[in-house]
């Protein structure tokens, strides 16, 4: 039986966090043998925010090595760099002619990120606005059925579905309309000190964030200082509104242990917050030590990393061509008489 396709992407725009791992990468690894998985390091998305030119390429290799260290099997999944497959940008232009200004303007990520531009609306780059169309192109090029993502990307995926539906209703069934795959718990890991906002690699306060390659003592210190609450006696229960700190810690533990929140609540009944933190510290340090050990070995193997990327991009290009060719046809663009070559 042929496997359905799963696709997802990650930006090489900074050091990856525990949020990236629990919300996304962990799912990528989990489904890698059940789906035909295609994973993309989205460097073109990353440049919608200012990037250091000497760091960007290096960071793409860092991300690849990290993904492998987390357990992705490069002989089984396709992994590549977005800018190595020009069809993503080509489809993005075409789909932008089938997307509406109004729907892009409503994207919360655009609204959040554009406020970083010191409220000067003249300085907001158009790439940031068009970002979700490139993301739709990433997904739709490969006839993707499933997109494993964290909660913050759900709105973008809904837009991708809408664009696919709109295009299909005009031209027939050109694109598979994808579903998202968001973990029940851990789809939005929050900041350690401000558990009402998402854990993000670009957080100004680094004490809010655990990085996958962070020094273990520093990780332990951050977890020890994480916010709980002042209930007396302490109650370890999941309640995002009234107990955001404890709920976040439970989500982290659930994400790392794969034990459901309900079972965790039962096992921590009557226990103290410090016992919950200690359990998380034990698990996080175990996972990160293992991951970091693999990472530092793999990261040195640059030839091997480049080989994976070139294999991945070659496969991706040939698959992407099939969809792009159909799109050119139905729109009515003239192909050259030597076939579908650009």
Dihedral sign (CA 163, 167, 169, 174)? negative
Applying CB under 6 A, which of residues 26, 84, 198, 299 lies at the interface with ligand TYM? 198
By CB under 6 A, what part of segment 40-79 binds ligand TYM?
42, 45
CA 165 from centre of chain = 23
Half-sphere exposure of 163 (CA within 13 A, CB side): 29
Q: Is 139 in the site for ligand TYM (CB under 6 A)?
A: yes
Q: Of the listed 3, 58, 111, 113, which one is catalytic?
A: 113
CB of 94: closest distance to ligand TYM in angstroms? 17
Nearest to 20 by CA among 199, 214, 223: 199
Closest by Cα among 151, 124, 154 to 139: 154
> Is the Cβ of residue 69 or residue 234 nearer to ligand TYM in the bound state?
69
- Write out the two tokens for 246: 């404890």
* Active-site residue flag, 113: yes
Which residue among 150, 234, 244, 312 contacts ligand TYM (CB under 6 A)?
Answer: 150
Q: Given the rule CB under 6 A, which of 67-75, 151-159, 258-266, 298-306 is the region that contacts ligand TYM?
A: 151-159
Q: Which is nearer to ligand TYM, 180 or 273 (CB)?
A: 180
Residue 127 CB, shortest distance to ligand TYM, in Å, is 12
Pick from 4, 66, 26: which is nearest to 185 by CA? 26
Tokens of 266: 């039962």
DSSP string, 98-146: TS-HHHHHT-HHHHHHHTTTTT-GGG--HHHHHHHHHHHHHHHTTT-SE
Tell me if 316 contacts ligand TYM by CB under 6 A.
Answer: no
**Closer Cβ to ligand TYM, 180 or 234, answer by number:** 180
Point out the catalytic residue in the list 198, 243, 277, 279: 198
3-state secondary structure of 228: coil
CA 269 to chain centre: 33
Interacting residues with ligand TYM (CB under 6 A): 7-11, 19-20, 22-24, 42, 45, 135, 138-139, 147, 149-150, 152-153, 156, 187-189, 198-199
Which of the residues are catalytic? 113, 198, 201
């Amino acid at each position: 039986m042929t496997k359905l396709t799963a696709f997802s992407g990650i930006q090489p725009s900074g050091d990856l966090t525990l949020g990236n791992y629990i919300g996304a990468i962990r799912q990528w690894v989990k489904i890698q043998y059940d789906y035909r998985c295609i994973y993309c390091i989205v460097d073109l998305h990353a440049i919608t925010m200012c990037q250091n030119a000497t760091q960007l390429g290096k960071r793409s290799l860092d991300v690849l090595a990290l993904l492998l260290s987390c357990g992705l099997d490069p002989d089984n999944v396709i992994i590549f760099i977005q800018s190595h497959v020009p069809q993503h940008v080509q489809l993005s232009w075409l789909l932008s002619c089938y997307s509406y200004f109004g729907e892009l303007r409503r994207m919360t990520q655009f609204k959040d990120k554009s406020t970083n531009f010191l409220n000067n609306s003249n300085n907001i780059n158009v790439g940031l606005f068009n970002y979700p169309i490139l993301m739709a192109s990433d997904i739709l090029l490969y006839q993707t059925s499933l997109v494993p993502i964290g909660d913050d990307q759900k709105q973008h995926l809904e837009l991708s579905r809408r664009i696919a539906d709109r295009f299909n209703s005009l031209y027939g069934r050109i694109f598979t309309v994808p579903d998202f795959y968001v973990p029940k718990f851990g789809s939005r890991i929050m900041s350690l000190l401000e558990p009402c906002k998402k854990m993000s690699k670009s957080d100004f306060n680094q004490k809010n964030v655990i990085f996958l390659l962070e020094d273990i003592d520093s990780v332990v210190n951050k977890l020890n200082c994480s916010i709980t609450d002042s209930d007396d006696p302490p109650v370890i229960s999941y309640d995002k509104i009234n107990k955001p700190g404890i709920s976040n810690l439970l989500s982290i533990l659930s994400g790392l242990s794969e034990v459901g929140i309900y079972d965790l609540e039962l096992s921590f009944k009557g226990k103290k917050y410090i016992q919950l933190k200690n359990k998380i510290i034990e698990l996080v340090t175990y996972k990160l030590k293992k991951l970091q050990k693999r990472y530092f070995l793999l990261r040195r193997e640059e030839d091997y990393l480049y080989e994976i990327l070139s294999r991945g991009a070659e496969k991706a290009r040939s698959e992407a061509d099939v969809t792009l060719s159909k799109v050119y046809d139905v729109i009515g663009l003239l192909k050259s008489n030597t076939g579908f070559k650009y």
